[in-house]
Chains A and B, each alone.
Chain A
């Protein structure tokens, strides 16, 4: 059973460009979470999605960030007009319905130059 998959693993963007991060949950998992890890900080929750629904986006910055989990295909975290402060590791996690533990992908390390 493949784990949570994220791509790309590394992404370099210039200021002002768009970044698209993809996450495929584990087979049978219908819940997806995105977290951001900044240097010297722990992981911070961003958004929680189920298929075609955003359940909790209380951790998402109000501007430039959006997320989706379509009926078909991976979950996408989109960052428009990136700034240097967006440089971080972005982790996706998934869980089956009704379960509490979350399983993490390897992360996408975004560098904004």
Chain B
């Protein structure tokens, strides 16, 4: 079975500072990894995904993530955050069989202040 751990439940940062949201996973099979963002009272928007190939994945809104198989991590980074990045971020994993459920971490609330 797969599991996802998001190591920080809340991350407060100042505007224009860099940020890293941490995600570790466990799985006995190959996995595919995703980051989603959820703004208040909205659905989840796909930020980026790792399926194969380059371990550095670029997504929308200036976010990127790096897949590290040896450390079973998929941390999300942004070099300079904006107030509008304030939201909840979810890391998710699924197996290499298409059509299987996503397993989500509990989420990290990113709060950006001026």
Interface residues of A (CB under 8 A from B): 4, 6, 31, 33, 35, 41-45, 48, 55-56, 58-59, 91, 93, 95, 97-107, 109
Contacts and interface: CB of A to CB of B under 8 A. Distances in A.
Contacts of B101: 33, 45, 48, 56, 58-59
B34 interface: yes
Q: Indicate the size class of the contact surface on chain B.
A: 20 to 34
Nearest to A40: B106
A53 to B, nearest CB: 11
Contacts of B34: 101
Nearest to B88: A42
A101 B67 CA distance: 16
A97 B107 CA distance: 27
Interface of B: 32, 34, 36, 41-46, 49, 51, 90, 94, 98-107
A100 B106 CA distance: 20
A35 B104 CA distance: 10
Contacts of A95: 98-99
B43 A100 contact: no
B37 to A, nearest CB: 11
A31 B99 contact: yes
Given A93-B44, A101-B46, A103-B46, 19 more contacts: A4-B43, A31-B99, A33-B101, A35-B104, A41-B106, A42-B106, A42-B107, A43-B90, A43-B104, A45-B102, A48-B99, A56-B100, A99-B98, A100-B98, A102-B102, A104-B45, A106-B42, A106-B43, A109-B41
Nearest to A59: B101
Given A91-B43, A98-B98, A101-B46, A45 B106 contact: no
A93 B46 CA distance: 11
14 contacts: A41-B106, A42-B90, A43-B90, A44-B104, A48-B100, A56-B100, A91-B43, A93-B44, A98-B98, A100-B32, A101-B49, A102-B46, A102-B102, A104-B46
A100 B51 contact: yes
Nearest to A33: B101
B2 to A, nearest CB: 11
B42 A45 contact: no
